[in-house]
Every structure is written in structure tokens, then in C-alpha cells.
């Protein structure tokens, strides 16, 4: 979905010179986020006991991220609430 939005914004850019700066900012959004938050690190968690399936967690050292809705995201116990789970 994100790629479609960027492609749509880029395709509309030449026809709309007023919004050229906005399109340029959208195209470089990942670089701007990386400058602010630090490099994004993707981690593959593997349970050595084999109880839980492998899962993926992404984070940046300088920012708190909200993980997407991918089916392979890690789910771990919430440290503040016992007995419930929270999604990284």
C-alpha cells in the first residue's frame, strides 16, 4: 500500500508543480526517518526451545515504533500486565 501511495504521488508530481516539494519529501521520507531515529533494525527471533514459531521485530534506536500488521510479528508477554500478551 505504501508503495502505491508513493508511486501515485510521484506520478502526480510533474502535473502539479505546486506540490513538487511535497512529493520530494514523500520520496525521501525513509531517509528523513532514518536521520531522526537511527537505522532501522530488523530482528528475527527464534525460540531455541522450539515452542514458538520464528517471528520478526523491527526497531530504531532513537524512536519508539508501532509494528505493522504482518502475521509473522512477535508476540511477547507484557511486562506491566501479567497473564496478557502484547504485540511488539
Residue 86 or 34, more confident: 34
CA distance 39 to 88: 18
* Pick from 4-8, 13-17, 28-32, 56-60: least confident: 13-17
pLDDT digits (tens, 9 = 90+) for 11-29: 665 556 667 778 787 778 8
CA distance 60 to 81: 24
**Residue 86 β-bridge partners:** 76
Contact call for residues 1 and 7 (beta carbons, < 8 A) = no
- Which residue has 521485530 as its cell numbers? 57
Q: Is the pLDDT of residue 60 over 80?
A: yes
pTM more than 0.75: no
Amino acid at each position: 500500500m505504501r508503495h502505491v501511495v508513493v508511486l501515485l504521488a510521484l506520478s502526480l508530481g510533474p502535473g502539479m508543480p505546486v506540490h513538487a516539494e511535497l512529493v520530494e519529501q514523500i520520496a525521501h521520507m525513509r531517509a528523513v526517518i532514518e536521520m531522526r531515529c537511527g537505522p532501522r533494525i530488523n530482528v528475527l527471533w527464534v525460540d531455541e526451545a522450539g515452542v514458538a514459531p520464528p517471528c520478526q521485530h523491527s526497531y530504531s534506536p532513537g524512536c519508539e515504533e508501532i509494528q505493522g500488521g504482518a502475521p509473522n510479528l512477535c508476540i511477547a508477554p507484557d511486562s506491566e500486565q501479567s497473564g496478557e500478551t502484547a504485540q511488539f
